[in-house]
Chain A
Amino acid sequence: MSTFASSDPKTALMNQVRQEAAVQNARQLVEKLNEHCFERCIPKPGSSLSKGEETCFSQCMEKYMGAWNTVSRQYIGRIQKEAGSMGGTSL
């Protein structure tokens, strides 16, 4: 967190806002990963996580993050296109 120690108060404030936004974003992704992959990979919870469940979990996480990236590209491309056609209200 050394970035907060910036002597310039304006920069310090902006850094804190950015940092908190990033934490919030990561937290939400973790929550969704857990929700989806638990549902998909562990239909019947046993007494411990099996090897197969673990493999499924890591593949599921990669897949979810891949979907996140695809959605992100597609969504941002779309809103940029629409903003452009509406006379340049920029993002």
Chain B
Amino acid sequence: MDSLVSGSSLPVDPSKLSDNDKKEIQQFVVNETQKARIQQSIHSLTDMCFRKCITSRISSGSLDRNEESCTQNCVDRYMDANHTILKKLEEMRTLG
């Protein structure tokens, strides 16, 4: 893992890239950033939902039916909560 970080200079001299390449890379970075953000949300949702849904003693390697549906609900309710907050804030903004 250190080898990735230690040679931290990029393998590319930007002046050698064509305008088309630059454009393509720019789009690529936008996409990768969004992917990373989504992946980050998945990590923190899993963290939270595991805590809430996998509460009994661990005696098997797979999720049982309750754990599975609890985890699905956990994600959906979190998203609902998120929307509720945004809606409420929007209300406060237009009223205030």
Q: Which residues of A contact B (CB under 8 A)?
A: 1, 4, 9-10, 12-14, 16-21, 23-25, 27-29, 32, 36, 40-41, 56, 58-64, 66-68, 70-72, 74-76, 78-79, 82, 91
Contact = CB atoms under 8 A, between A and B. Distances in A.
Consensus secondary structure, chain B interface? helix
B16 interface: yes
Consensus secondary structure, chain A interface? helix
10 contacts: A10-B17, A17-B28, A19-B4, A32-B43, A36-B51, A58-B61, A70-B72, A71-B46, A78-B79, A91-B38
B32 A63 contact: no
Nearest to A58: B61
A62 B4 contact: no
A58 B10 CA distance: 38
Residue in A20, A21, A27, A67 with the greatest tally of chain B CB atoms within 10 Å:
A67
Contact of B38 (A18, A56, A76): A76
B46 A56 contact: no
A74 B75 contact: yes
Contacts of A9: 11-13, 16-17, 21
A60 B50 CA distance: 10
